[in-house]
Structure 1
């Protein structure tokens, strides 16, 4: 299922000391990127495995915010997506375009990141996430909180001097109790990426 349809969203964090500001055009100082924030979207990643991992996590988080109507999908498309995105990304773009901001909030934290394929022109990154959603079913109803685990596979290409997402696929699971002995399709079966940075986009 597509990340847009599933609502599988990523939220990262960046220490305030590592960035000069959070507004449009802000300069960010992180070893593997991003180097700046344009229209709320972090851009500028190192041409290495760590840069690809960082770009994948931040792309998912930016798609999350666009899907909640908090940043413009056009800005995400310009900054982080390849010229010819795949079908799953196109679904996410369609769902998130011109979406009004709502009161519901979904935050997703990257628990583990692994780069499963890498060349100078492309990369595949798997991201295992925990999502926490807070919403009310109807107006005035009690707020409910739900947690869920998911795995995202992000295909990236080196294009226009930066890592751009070519496609992204999300699936539910595995939950922590299922990863004591992770299967071959789990990001936890791969070497984990220690060097990646995420920027909270709000």
Structure 2
């Protein structure tokens, strides 16, 4: 609370009688009082008030500095309040990098904790939703890096069939080899909005990833312009060889926000944005 919030503090408004703050007194400066508006008889009381005011200011400043320096200690000091902890833990940033290493260009070596599981789900979601999944060699590397070993082999065959299907590629406007037509740029990018760890143990974790997705072809003559979608993917993660790996996942639509009435960008602007703005390494 600032000093201005104290009752009566800073009240220097004059009343109709020429006084201050409704006191009915008139401040008259006398030459022989050395600048004391109330005369020598009141000097002791004025000094006392000044001392109290100075002490009050110092106390408030010390309290404000102490409060500011508390930083993020509120979480640890209120650990008994499980409700508040639940509300803040899902989105509170830790300020720490999630990992120090990468496999196939994907962050790896996540912490053996709820935060580590959430970070793994966000980063794996970005990888599995990237354009790399449409190129055979990159897809194999991504799948082997993200999935649990016993799951990767089985997934690999299914994914190869899905991503190399001529009908599928034609429907989204790509060539038979998964490349974009000349003069166009293929966009497939996931932007995580948040994660929620719904269950956690030393060996297994379930994480929901809410994200928005950009998908389509930017460029003149595109039959599948870049559009935005919203999904939530639930990942079943296992702790294997010092890292979290995907064992299974399910996906559902939404939550979807209300769209604003904004003018769509031109094909050139969209292509330029995709080429110039890179993605992120995600962590909470």
Distance 2:201 2:210 in 1: 22
Alignment gaps of 5+ in structure 2: 1-94, 165-176, 259-279
Question: Which of 78, 103, 112 is the aligned partner of 1:47?
Answer: 112
1:132 aligns with 2:199: no
Deviations 1:106-144 (Å, cap 9, x if unpaired)?
A: 2221112100000000000001111122425x9734772
1:114 aligns with 2:207: no
Say whether residues 1:85 and 2:167 are aligned partners. Answer: no
Rg bigger for which structure?
2
Relative to structure 1, the CA distance from residue 95 to residue 33 in structure 2 (aligned partners, 3 Å threshold; closer, same or farther) is farther
Q: Distance in 1 between matches of 2:123 and 2:146?
A: 9
Structure in which a larger fraction of residues adopt helix = 2
Q: Name the structure 2 match of 1:95.
A: 162
1:152–1:170: 8 Å Cα contact kept in structure 2?
yes
Partner of 1:172: 253
- CA spacing shift, 1:35–1:92, aligned 2, 3 Å: farther
Relative to 1, partners in 2 of residues 1:101 and 1:54: Cα closer, same or farther, differing over 3 Å? farther
Distance 1:72 1:120, change over 3 A: same
CA distance, structure 2, for counterparts of residue 118 and residue 94 of structure 1:
33
CA distance in 1, matches of 2:244, 2:250: 17
Superposed CA offset, 1:9-42 (max 9, x none): xxxxxxxxxxxxxxxxxxxxx8362221233222
Report if aligned partners of 1:89, 1:166 keep a CA contact under 8 Å in 2: no
Q: Which residue of 1 aligns with 2:15?
A: none
Equivalent pairs counted in the alignment come to 149
Instruction: Work out the CA distance in 1 between the residues paired with 2:216 and 2:189.
Output: 9
Residue of structure 2 in register with 1:58 after alignment: 123
Q: Which residue of 1 aligns with 2:243?
A: 162
Q: 1:83 to 1:172 in 2, by over 3 A?
A: same
Aligned CA distance change for structure 1 residues 61 and 146 (closer, same or farther; 3 Å): same
Instruction: Give the RMSD, CA atoms, in angstroms.
Output: 3.2
Which residue of structure 2 aligns with residue 148 of structure 1? 229
CA distance in 2, matches of 1:37, 1:108: 19
| CA distance in 1: counterparts of 2:242 and 2:151, whole angstroms | 17
More relative contact order, 1 or 2 (CA 8 Å, 6+ apart): 1
1:68 aligns with 2:138: no
Q: CA deviation at 1:61?
A: 1.3
| TM score, norm. by length of structure 2 | 0.45
Per the alignment, do residues 147 and 71 of structure 1 end up closer, same or farther by CA in structure 2, a change over 3 Å counting? farther
Q: Could you say which structure has the higher strand fraction?
A: 1
Structure 1 window deviating more from structure 2 (99-108 vs 45-54): it is 99-108
Following the alignment from structure 2 to structure 1, what is the Cα–Cα distance between the partners of residues 141 and 192?
22
